[in-house]
Amino acid sequence: MPRLASLIESKLPEETVEMLRTAGELAAAGESGAGEAYLVGGSVRDLVLGREPNDPDIVVTGNGPRFARALTAQIKGEVTSVSQFGTAVIQSPQGRVDVATARSETYSSPAALPEITPSNMEDDLKRRDFSVNAMALSLLPSNWGELLDPYKGFADCARSRIRILHDASFQDDPTRILRSVRYEVRLGFSLEVETAEVLERDLSYIDRLTSARLVAELRKILEEPERANILRKAEAEGIIGAISPSLRVAESGLKTMEQLDSADELLYLACMTSSLTEEEADAVIARLEPDREWQAVIRGAAAFRVTASVLESADLLPSDVVELLERVPVPVLEFQRIAGPRTRQRDHIEAYLRRHREIRPETTGDDLAAQGVPRGPVMGKLLHELKTAKLDGKVTSQQDEFELVRRRLPILLDRERQGTDQPAGAAAP
């Protein structure tokens, strides 16, 4: 097996190399709960490919959490979490280090979480998703940097291909279907022929994934710099449709996604779901069960069509526009500002986002209370009328505002007494 010690030393920050050496020495000393220690997974793949690796993952044979505690004594880090699967997370001045116990996994049914048994390194690599992610580099001083590659990941790196390790891989863990396209695009790789066939055959297993796992995978896609290309490929390969037949990622949304310079997950999501009808949006939400922010964006993107047509009318006051747009999540508006037609609609959105969204009357609830206005619906209506008047230029100073309050307060109080109240948004006479 080749030794890739020089790659570790040249591609990783010096402090990380030091930490890995310490880990290897600790394992070799035999009193840390570990027998062997390896750098594994994505970092090894990235080293082999000459890419900048992310935070290191260490796997040890023996007892990962015990080893993690012993390591933190030497590198002045802290074990911040330990799981029932024999894993531990270390936060150190050099960053995050994941430590795991070498283990084998069995799946009781497709897409179930695996049952885990501590095992040797070969088994640990065998349970992994793709050959390129199933390589390990030894950290022991006696064979520092030696590559363990039983599934030929090195050769697949050289051939730029993503290959599963066994026929049931996507059934065991259908998140791998989404992972595969993420790696293909990120690394510029292609699926190996049989892997592509198996992926197509097993697309329907995505149905078995819990909504939480699906959302977590979508989030990882949205985090990637090449998010638009990943979604484009996933759409073309039927992966998006396998998540939900109602989910479609339109080319127009992807084009907009590519133009964005801000890093905002919700804005990417608005691009991704911009072409859905309200019915489709509801079906996608029912499948993904995402948090409230995601729900608001998915629903808001779909519902925007109606708002857009109202925004085209000629005689809208700034307060009418605010009333309409306040209900729309900002990421949906940002998307429309960039992607929408260059018409009155876009002018209104721009004015709202740049200026009108922030406009408040100078008079506050406390000011009104100091003038004897009781807290409650009447105060709410007065504040709303003040804001409307300010937006539409009908009041321009606090003096004007006090004047408006003086005029409107008796009328509103009277209406409240008689129970002939109008809703807060109704225009003042």
Binding residues (CB under 6 A) for ligand CTP: these are 41-42, 54, 57, 128-129, 133-134, 173, 175-176, 179
- In angstroms, give the least distance from the CB of 383 to ligand CTP: 49
* Secondary structure (H, E, C), 71-111: HHHHHCCEEEEECCCCEEEEEECCEEEEEEECEEEECCCCC
Whichever of 114 and 238 has its CB closer to ligand CTP, that residue is 114
- Report the C-alpha gap between 132 and 276 in whole angstroms: 36
- In angstroms, give the least distance from the CB of 351 to ligand CTP: 41
* Residue 394 vs residues 198, 276, 313, 400: alpha-carbon distances, Å: 67, 40, 21, 8
Whichever of 169 and 273 has its CB closer to ligand CTP, that residue is 169
- In angstroms, give the least distance from the CB of 112 to ligand CTP: 13
Whichever of 30 and 225 has its CB closer to ligand CTP, that residue is 225
- In angstroms, give the least distance from the CB of 133 to ligand CTP: 3
- In angstroms, give the least distance from the CB of 129 to ligand CTP: 4
- In angstroms, give the least distance from the CB of 327 to ligand CTP: 37
Whichever of 125 and 281 has its CB closer to ligand CTP, that residue is 125
- In angstroms, give the least distance from the CB of 83 to ligand CTP: 14
Whichever of 129 and 184 has its CB closer to ligand CTP, that residue is 129
Whichever of 98 and 320 has its CB closer to ligand CTP, that residue is 98
- Report the C-alpha gap between 59 and 39 in whole angstroms: 6
Sorted by sequence, the CB contacts under 8 Å of residue 90 that are 6+ apart come out as: 68, 71, 72, 75, 77, 78, 79, 80, 96, 97, 98, 99
Whichever of 42 and 241 has its CB closer to ligand CTP, that residue is 42
As to burial, measured by CB atoms within 10 angstroms (0-12 exposed, 13-18 middle, 19+ buried), residue 246 is: middle
Residue number of the CB atom closest to ligand CTP: 42
- In angstroms, give the least distance from the CB of 104 to ligand CTP: 13
- In angstroms, give the least distance from the CB of 251 to ligand CTP: 26
Whichever of 178 and 382 has its CB closer to ligand CTP, that residue is 178
What amino acid is encoded at 189 in this protein? F
- The alpha carbon of 300 is separated from its chain's Cα centroid by a whole number of angstroms, namely 18
The pair of three-digit structure tokens given for residue 400, joined into one six-digit string = 């004007």
Whichever of 117 and 252 has its CB closer to ligand CTP, that residue is 117
